[in-house]
Amino acid sequence: MLAYIIRRFVYAIPLLMGVNILTFTLFFVVNSPDDMARMQLGEKHVTQQAVENWKQQRGYDLPLFWNSKASNPITKTIFYQKSVGLFSFNFGISDSGRNISYDIKQRMWPSLAVALPSLIVGLGVNISIALFMVLFRQTYIEIGGLVGCVILMSISSLFYIIGGQFLISKLLHLVPISGYEPGFNALKFLILPVLIAVVSGIGSGARWYRSLFLEEVEKDYVRTARAKGLTETQVLFKHVLRNALIPILTGVVVILPVLFMGSLITEAFFSIPGLGSYTIDAINSQDFAIVRSMVFLGSALYILGLVLTDISYTLVDPRIRLT
């Protein structure tokens, strides 16, 4: 088990290098360091000297991948200089001069404050609806539920957000439309985004869980349980739910680490100062240092999620052994 985990983390290194190379190429194909300097310093009235100074300060005055002039052609390049820090999670300074690690530490809590309740409440709601549909399977209740799910799935997430903001904040004045405050005051700002995230996830979530439950319902051990004389509710909660929780939980584990990254759309609409809006701001201002750090962080968390999933499989299903 330990050997497996160590091997997986060693595998992560070439993956992260690939991610890094890809981000570098994508970004520098379109942006030369000169463009970035002009962007940061303001488009007009910038002398070539100022651009050179900016590049010198930020370390963009080297060649991209291969420095033929230096004694060591690989280390004296932008790619090498900028990537080394990433692998020790030292994100350095953004192109606009802020400490990225500090910003990430500040901004991940609001992201988590939206994402975690959305996940937990959504999971509860979706499982309950799915169980309800399975309990009344082959009746009009199930058909109605399925039709409802397809309808909910067909609405764009933008409409959920706009509709929710309009109905709850503008017409009913229950909670503020957008914004964020640290501490307990955050609660009133968080209700609406969480509610909308839950509602917009019902369609696909409940349908997916229903199909998982239905797969279990038809298995032999469930038939045995029914033959023993258990009622349908007992069968559902004691046998079906427990066994179907295995794929559900492992599906949740894979996204747990990525929750830190926040949701781009939700955070932008509700102006929550999380990592999602941080990324969007960075894209819009072409701050490469931040984009690169966020891509790296996202990939690392995704790989962590994959490893955690494998481990959680062994924990909930004793038949699986990692080798």
Partner 1 sequence: MVVLWTDALLYFLMFILVSGSYYLTTQVQFKRPLEKIISNKTGILSLVVLMFFILIGLLDSIHFKASNNDTQAIISLLDYVATPLRTQTEKTYSAPFATHLFSKENIQVSSQESIWGYPRLKYGGANLNNPETEKLGDISRKTGLGFIKGMLVFALLLACMYYLSQTVTAKNFHIWSLLGCLIVISAILIELSCSYHILGTDKVGEDVFYQAIKSIRTGLVIGALTTFIMLPLAIVFGILAGFYSGWIDDLIQYVYTTLNSIPSVLLIAASILMVQVYIANHQAEFTSLLVRADMRLLGLCFILGLTSWTGLCRLLRAETLKLKAMDYVQAAQALGVTNSKILYRHILPNVMHIIFIAVVLDFSALVLAEAVLSYINIGVDPTTYSWGNMINGARLEMAREPVVWWSLSAAFIFMFSFVLAANLFSDCVRDAFDPRRN
Q: Which of 134, 190, 294, 307 binds partner 1 (CB under 8 A)?
A: 294
Rounded distance between C-alpha atoms, residue 188 and residue 230, angstroms = 45
For residue 167, state whether it binds partner 1 (rule: CB under 8 A): no
Binding residue for partner 1, selected from 195, 222, 241, 264, defined by CB under 8 A: 264
Q: How far is CA 140 from CA 200, 207, 211, 291, 292, in A?
A: 23, 16, 17, 50, 51
DSSP result, 280-311: HHHHHTT-HHHHHHHHHHHHHHHHHHHHHHHH
Site size toward partner 1, by CB under 8 A: 41
**Is 38 or 76 the residue whose CB approaches partner 1 more closely?**
38
Q: Nearer Cβ to partner 1, position 159 or 221?
A: 159
Helices (H), the chain: 2-30, 33-41, 48-58, 78-87, 100-135, 140-153, 157-164, 186-217, 220-227, 232-234, 241-255, 264-269, 275-284, 288-316
Measured from the CB atom, the residue of 102 and 166 that comes closer to partner 1 is: 166
Between the two ends of the chain, the Cα-to-Cα distance in Å is 7
State which of residues 22, 70, 84, 320 lies at the interface with partner 1 (CB under 8 A): 22
Site string for partner 1, 200-239 (x = CB under 8 A): ---------------x------------------------
- What are the residues binding partner 1 (CB under 8 A)? 14-15, 18-19, 22-23, 26-27, 29-31, 150-151, 153-159, 162, 165-166, 170, 215, 261, 264-265, 268, 279-280, 283-284, 286, 291, 294-295, 298-299, 302-303
